[in-house]
Chains A and B, each alone.
Chain A
Amino acid sequence: MREIRIADIIDKNNDQSIKFHSGASSVIQMPVEYIDRVTDLAFKDVHILKNTVPVYERLTVKDHVSFYKKWNRSGLGISDMIRQYELESVSHKRLTHCTAETIQRLAYIQAVLADRQAVLAVNPLYNAGIENIRLFHKMMEQMAHAGKALIVITSSTEEAFVISSRIARLSEQGLKEVETEMPEEKNNQASLKRIKAKARDKTIFIDLEDIEYIESNDGKVYINISREKFIIEWTLAETEKKLGDYGFYRCHRSYIVNLDKVKEIITWSKNTYSIVMENQEKTKIPLSRMKYSEIQELLVV
């Protein structure tokens, strides 16, 4: 199969490469600049799947699918695809009147119908609702079944974990798998109700109950409170130790959640789980496979 050399992406000496393996998929988190580079470098016979797709606005959903099926000489059935991607209710609607969600589903369908064997998905879940994330997983299954090679690149770690429990990260140092197994640690300590954080030159104190979740990224630990991030000086392990008794739970190698703010747990596929937070954006926090049953016990009386 074809490959994209990492050295071309990061402009540094590196002998790794991103490989397209038939029937397999991999998820790579990387900074936005690298995403643009990879998209440019992708060879001509890769189908590029983005979070949306340009459409013929005067055609109906069904006409559109039918055109792509015929163009690509795909053996898949039109009505079958429309049913699988839950577009039956809008199949006779012209695309000018369709929602962004519908058009995103057409992007997934086009990627399945495309006659190319390699697919590069670029931030595919940007703006995706829960239903579309589910359909994206269905699309991945269909591609694996058809022997297509899929590489997903995304700028957001959360999004990457929504797609797969095993992800890699591309940085200046090259391509590295993100570790998700964590050492077991337990400690009891109860002495604080607030936590010290830094916002530029100020030191602020944050009530524990306001915290939604804590994440570590690039060696730094951030507290997330309603769309804002603040750096704290502890490591994630220290934070876990100190906050363990206040209803915080280490649900993933890089994440600690406030159990009070957990809204629901979603199973995307075997081994891929997310915690949905009770906030405006319904942030999806990755949940390790090992922690899946433990957190459920903690969440109920």
Chain B
Amino acid sequence: MNTGRIMAIFEKDLKEFTRNMMLFTTTLIPILMAFMFRNAGPDSTEAPAVLIAVIIGTAYSTILCSSIMTMMAEENEKDTLRGLVQSPASMLDILTGKSLVVIMMTGISLGLSILVMDAEMSWGTGGIAALVLLGLFFLSLGIAVGLEVKSVATTSVYLLPIMLVFGFTPMIETIVRDESHIVRQVAEYLPVYQYVFIQEGTEVLPLLILCGWAVLGLIYAAWAFKKRMNDENK
């Protein structure tokens, strides 16, 4: 880890992020959705935990996961990393620098969305731990795919299922209404649902499941990293 290099990448990618319309507009999606949800719900009650979970899922999948994926894919496509990656350490610097950019942008966007929703959220340890673990899961998923794909166009192949399955999970309630349906049963083990459960009061089991997802994400990212470094050394 080299702070100078991480900062160099951070500065460069922050400039690129704000100048890339494709990436920059993603930060607006959760905010727009927040406006929609605020007006859609019944006036008197505050936004239910499920809607907040949808916003979080959207922010994490469309900004955190997709941006780092796209940024890495663009470097791969244009071959701009050729001179920079000399060792696994420099690759880690690059990934850290880029992660800082997307974490910051996700944080800003999500913060604004929650302000817009004006929702009562529990900010206990459980809630915060869940947010961090969810973020870790989506970030490592994005990094893993970003390390593997060769072009920006390919990322959408990965991104769509990730957004539908992991990002918008609670939306399943509007499609499959029968609560005992097998799809609903399985969906309740997906990461975003764990956040809903934590908001609703149960903490231990959902946190354990979230930990499991985060570890899976990290293993995938580590595997992609190792594979990529082997390719670089050829």
A residues at B contact (CB < 8 Å):
44-45, 47-48, 54-59, 63, 67, 70-71, 73, 94, 110, 114
Contact = CB atoms under 8 A, between A and B. Distances in A.
Interface of B is mostly: helix
A54 B79 contact: yes
Contacts of A63: 12, 15
Contacts of A71: 5, 8-9, 84
B86 A44 contact: yes
17 contacts: A47-B83, A48-B83, A54-B78, A54-B80, A54-B82, A56-B12, A56-B80, A58-B20, A59-B16, A63-B15, A67-B12, A70-B5, A70-B7, A70-B8, A71-B84, A94-B19, A110-B83
Given A54-B80, A71-B5, A45 B86 contact: yes
B170 to A, nearest CB: 35
Contacts of B82: 54
A55 B83 CA distance: 11
Interface string B1-15: 000110111011001
Given A59-B15, A71-B84, 10 more contacts: A44-B233, A56-B12, A58-B15, A58-B16, A59-B16, A67-B11, A67-B12, A70-B8, A70-B11, A110-B83
Contacts of B5: 70-71
A47 B78 CA distance: 18
A55 B80 contact: yes
A264 B5 CA distance: 47
A29 to B, nearest CB: 25
Which 7 pairs, one residue from A and one from B, show the smallest C-beta to C-beta distance? A70-B8, A58-B19, A67-B12, A71-B8, A54-B78, A54-B80, A54-B79
Contacts of B79: 54
A70 B4 contact: yes
Contacts of B84: 71
A45 B84 CA distance: 11
Contacts, number: 41
A55 B11 CA distance: 16
A139 B78 CA distance: 25
A277 B139 CA distance: 59
Nearest to A116: B86
Nearest to A64: B12
B101 to A, nearest CB: 13
A274 to B, nearest CB: 30
Contacts of A67: 8, 11-12
Contacts of A70: 4-5, 7-8, 11
Nearest to A70: B8
Contacts of B7: 70
Nearest to B17: A58
Nearest to A110: B83
B209 to A, nearest CB: 40
A144 to B, nearest CB: 21
Contacts of A59: 12, 15-16
Contacts of B80: 54-56
A70 B84 CA distance: 12
Nearest to B74: A56
A258 B9 CA distance: 54
Contacts of B4: 70, 73
Nearest to A58: B19
Choose among A47, A59, A67, A94 the residue with the greatest number of B CB atoms under 10 Å from its CB.
A67
A58 B22 CA distance: 12
Nearest to A60: B15
A27 to B, nearest CB: 22
Interface string B79-111: 110111010000000000000000000000000
Contacts of B9: 71
B83 A114 contact: yes
Nearest to A63: B15
A54 B82 CA distance: 9
B161 to A, nearest CB: 28
Nearest to B77: A54
